[in-house]
Structure 1
Amino acid sequence: MKKTSILAAVLIIVGFAFIAWQKTDQGRQNKSDAGMGNTTLAEVLLPSTLSQSAQIGKRAFEEKCMACHGINAAGQVEVAPPLVHKIYEPSHHGDESFQRAASLGVRAHHWSFGDMPAVEGLTRGDVTMIVAYIRELQRTNGIN
Structure 2
Amino acid sequence: MKRKYYLLGVPVVVAVAASFQLGSAPEPATQAPAVGAPIVTVQVPPLQGNAVIGQQIFAKRCSACHGENAAGKEGAGPPLIHVIYEPNHHADEAFQRAVAMGVRSHHWRFGDMPPVEGLTRGDVAMVTAYIRDVQRANGIQ
Aligned equivalent of 2:12, options 4, 15, 23: 4
Q: CA deviation at 1:112?
A: 4.6
Aligned residues: 133
Residue aligning to 1:87: 84
Mapping 1:1-144, distance limit 5 Å: 1-17=9-25, 20=26, 23-24=27-28, 27=30, 30=31, 33-34=33-34, 37-40=35-38, 42-144=39-141
- C-alpha distance in structure 2 between counterparts of 1:81 and 1:47, whole Å: 17
> TM-score with structure 1 length normalisation?
0.74
Q: Percent identity?
A: 48
Q: Write the deviation string for residues 119-144 of structure 1: whole angstroms up to 9, x where unpaired.
A: 12222222112111211222233221
CA shift, 1:10, in A, is 2.9
Unmatched 5+ stretches in structure 1: none
Instruction: Check conservation: 1:44, 1:137, Cα contact below 8 A.
Output: no
| Bigger-Rg structure (1/2) | 2
Farther off after superposition, 65-74 or 49-58:
49-58
What amino acid does structure 2 have at the position aligned with 1:92? H
Unaligned 5+ residue runs, structure 2?
Answer: 1-8
| TM-score, scaled to structure 2 | 0.75
Which moved further from structure 2: 81-90 or 62-71? 81-90
